[in-house]
Structure 1
Amino acid sequence: MILIESVFMPEVQPLIDNMLTLETGELVGRIYSRGIIGQNEVTVTSGFIGKVEAAAITQKMIDRFSPGIVVLVSGAGALDTSLKPGDIIAGTEFQEYDLIVPARSNSTRITSVDSSTIEHVQSFFPDAKLGKIVSGDRLVADAKERDRLYKETAALCLDMDSAAVARVCQLNSIPFAVFKVILDMCDEYSERDFSENFKLYATKPAEIIFSILKRHILDVK
């Protein structure tokens, strides 16, 4: 079983629309669809804003479905200004940028990603960029703040959920992978850019995952 999550339902709609649906239901107020894509059993859900909701929903889904892999697909804002809207980021390291624990700084970094899933994405989408993703419970829409965070963290992009999902998977000893699409540049135009680019690119990570699931078995558990 592969658990695939997103922040907003449209981000995973291509998976839902193209799976052989076995079951639909609701868990803690979130709709899920369970079905078959290729030779993979998948459960798809969405609906969390911020790290607390991301962690809570992920844990509830793990408890209910016992997935062999968790995959997060959704949007992010760029910290690295060489990126552009539509770029795909495969997370290799995760950290909460607003969690300050000086004596335990290294322990807040999570690097235990599912490398085989990332390799599959690279084979299907070689333009995917690998790197660090940081998460926090506030929106960044200021170029100076963006540049400061990039200097401090060396992360490619920023969101409100990846580090939380990664931490829950780590605590449950479940392989995971995170694929983000850049929707804004974390600057003063972020709100406008997000609205425009969401329509253009929001489904891109799910479409890549769907292409892989049709041809490969990802959950070998």
Structure 2
Amino acid sequence: MIGIIGAMPIEVEGLKSRLQNSQTENLAGLQFSRGMLSGVECVVAHCNPGKVNAALCTQLMITHYQPRLVINSGVAGGIGAGIHIGDLVISTAVVQHDMDTSPLGDKRGYLSGIGLIEIPASEKLVQLLGRTATEVYKGAVHTGVIATGDQFICDSAKLHELGRDFGALACEMEGAAVGQVCHVNNVDFVVLRTISDNADDDAKMDYTTFAPIAAQRGIDLLCRILPELS
């Protein structure tokens, strides 16, 4: 089984509507829909925005459904001159940019307990998705670090800071929480993000306009590549 997690309805409803033989279960206030998607057994969940919501959803999914891999799919803000609205970013690693115990001597983003700043995604998944996406995705495909924090970034100075400090290509609010839970449970994961805005001063306007389009591109891509992952 493959687990798919999205933060917002626009990121998961298109997937749930395509599930065959769907069965739905509610756990801790979250809805999990299980069925066949593109011929592959999947469980799809809407976690709601933010790291705590994403972590809760991921642990529930792993505990109750035992997926062999988890994909966190959705939209994100792009970082850097080469990342444009409509592009796709595949995570090589994820970081929590708002985790900061540097006053105690740690580096910014350091995660106590697992001793990492960058949580690596499955290299095999990244390579497979990168190869397949370049053939089917209508837009540029990038691989790199995705930065997560409990903030909607719409500030050019903050945007440049994330690029400088973490080498991030995109920023969002769930991926690194999903990654951390998968890491401690020894479950492969990858984060897929279609770019809805450039996380700058125009981000709010761009997001409203382009998020539904970007989300649909991600849904279409997932449905195309799932058989490659089975």
TM-score, normalisation: structure 2: 0.87
Give secondary structure in 1 for the equivalent of 2:24: strand
Quick check: 66-75 or 9-18, which moved more?
A: 9-18
Quick check: 46-55 or 22-31, which moved more?
A: 22-31
Deviation at 1:110, TM superposition (A): 3.4
Conserved 8 A contact 1:72-1:178: yes
Aligned to 1:48: 48
Aligned to 1:110: 118
**Which of the numbers 117, 120, 144 marks the counterpart of 1:131?**
144
Residues 68-119 of structure 1: CA distance to partner in whole angstroms, max 9, x if unpaired?
1000001111121321111100000111111123444363323432233323
Deviation at 1:39, TM superposition (A): 4.0
Residues 132-161 of structure 1: CA distance to partner in whole angstroms, max 9, x if unpaired?
011111122111221122111111011111
Conserved 8 A contact 2:16-2:44: yes
Aligned to 1:29: 29
Deviation at 1:9, TM superposition (A): 1.9
Could you tell me which amino acid in structure 2 is paired with residue 176 of structure 1? F
Aligned to 2:128: 120
Could you tell me which amino acid in structure 2 is paired with residue 151 of structure 1? R
- Measured in 2, the distance between the counterparts of 1:195 and 1:19 equals 27
TM-score, normalisation: structure 1: 0.91
Alignment: residue pair count: 217
Taking the TM superposition and a 5 Å limit, the aligned residue runs for 1:198-217 are 198-213=211-226, 215-216=227-228
Conserved 8 A contact 2:121-2:190: yes
Conserved 8 A contact 2:55-2:178: yes
Conserved 8 A contact 1:9-1:47: no
Quick check: 24-33 or 189-198, which moved more?
A: 24-33
Aligned to 1:72: 72
Quick check: 35-44 or 85-94, which moved more?
A: 35-44
Structure 1, gaps ≥5 residues long: none
Give secondary structure in 2 for the equivalent of 1:122: helix
- Measured in 2, the distance between the counterparts of 1:2 and 1:152 equals 33
- Measured in 1, the distance between the counterparts of 2:23 and 2:223 equals 18
Aligned to 1:159: 172
RMSD: 1.7
Aligned to 1:170: 183
Give secondary structure in 2 for the equivalent of 1:108: coil
Deviation at 1:8, TM superposition (A): 0.9
Could you tell me which amino acid in structure 1 is paired with residue 87 of structure 2? D
Could you tell me which amino acid in structure 2 is paired with residue 51 of structure 1? K
